[in-house]
Structure 1
Amino acid sequence: MGENEQIKALFERVCYDNSVQAYNELYIALCTRLIHFSASIVSSYHLAEEIVSDVFLSLWQKKNELSHVQNPVVYLYVSTKNRSLNTLQEQKRHQHDSLDELNTDMLAIAPEAENGMVSAEVSQKIERAIRSLPARCQLIFRLIKQDRLSYREVAELLNISTKTVDAQLTIAVKKISLAIRFDLSDETAQTYLRLDS
């Protein structure tokens, strides 16, 4: 029996016998291929895994209505493609939900002249430097420096690792230090930009 016949047999057992075992075998047989296919559309393996998982969930929910399906492989690919494209549309519609498409103007809060340590002019330079950072980097810097969140809290909030938080902060601090290097002594800049992990 060829692979497609095997898949057809498993699909029929799902539809006619409500077989959980056949359903699991069908998933194992196809999930890797479908995830790669979906990822080529949505450019994210993580998202593709969710999409394929949804496709199979939907298959299980509608299994008794699908006995007419002649080619289960094509059916599952088409379902995956449709769901991937819908997800892409949703993402475009809610682009501000993506951390890389943030409306950074909403984040802009001029750093306070901490204890008179930083003049208003330098404060503006710092703000310009922060605004020039990539959106996610900027958000992380502000959450830690201005909102006083810990590395762990930011990691949890944004669903990223504390290593990523640390790496993004290093980029931010380097850029800002560079922007104000002629205005503040190294020591003052270090004190101002000190970030406690």
Structure 2
Amino acid sequence: MNSAGKQVNDLFLEVTATGNMKAYEQLYHIVCSRLIHFSASICGSFHLAEEVVSDVFVSIWQKREQLTGVENPKVYLYVCTKNRTINAMKRKQLHVVPFDTFYTEALSIVPDVEEHLLSSQVARKIETAISSLPPRCQLIFRLIKMDGLQYKEVAELLDISSKTVDAQLTIAVKRVADTIRLDMSDELIADFLRS
């Protein structure tokens, strides 16, 4: 588990076990942006996505004592966000799109320049390469490589097999690497794709 994933787990545990408001706020700030982008990729609306993520966090606070047994908080947050987004779309009578046609523009977040020691120009090239992937490949790539979820977690979240996740990630990594290879050293590419 990467350090961000461990931090999410630790903060979630702190919130559910002790009701620590400071930990709750930190948890929100760490995952809020990714959850909003994930929700917006499903519903096509950042406004609705912000409402959904806000509702997810209100629910977590209200049910915190019942959530002490959650084994994987990050996946739990994504599943809650997905379910609440779909429910909100149904309530507003919006068409729920299949995940192969998610609004991939909403997923677009330039890789963290400081974390990966990338120049902003290289980060933009990587984002362009990722954005050119088909929706399913792009979503799986982002959930695994950028959000730190495991293959099994992504399979569970998207209701697909782990083999499908593996196949889609293989396609995504190859296409991204091929797209950016002309402009970057092999070490930098390998470092980013490994992280």
Point out which structure has higher relative CO (alpha carbons under 8 A, 6+ apart). Answer: 2
| TM-score normalised over the length of structure 2 | 0.49
| TM-score normalised over the length of structure 1 | 0.48
Structure of larger gyration radius = 1
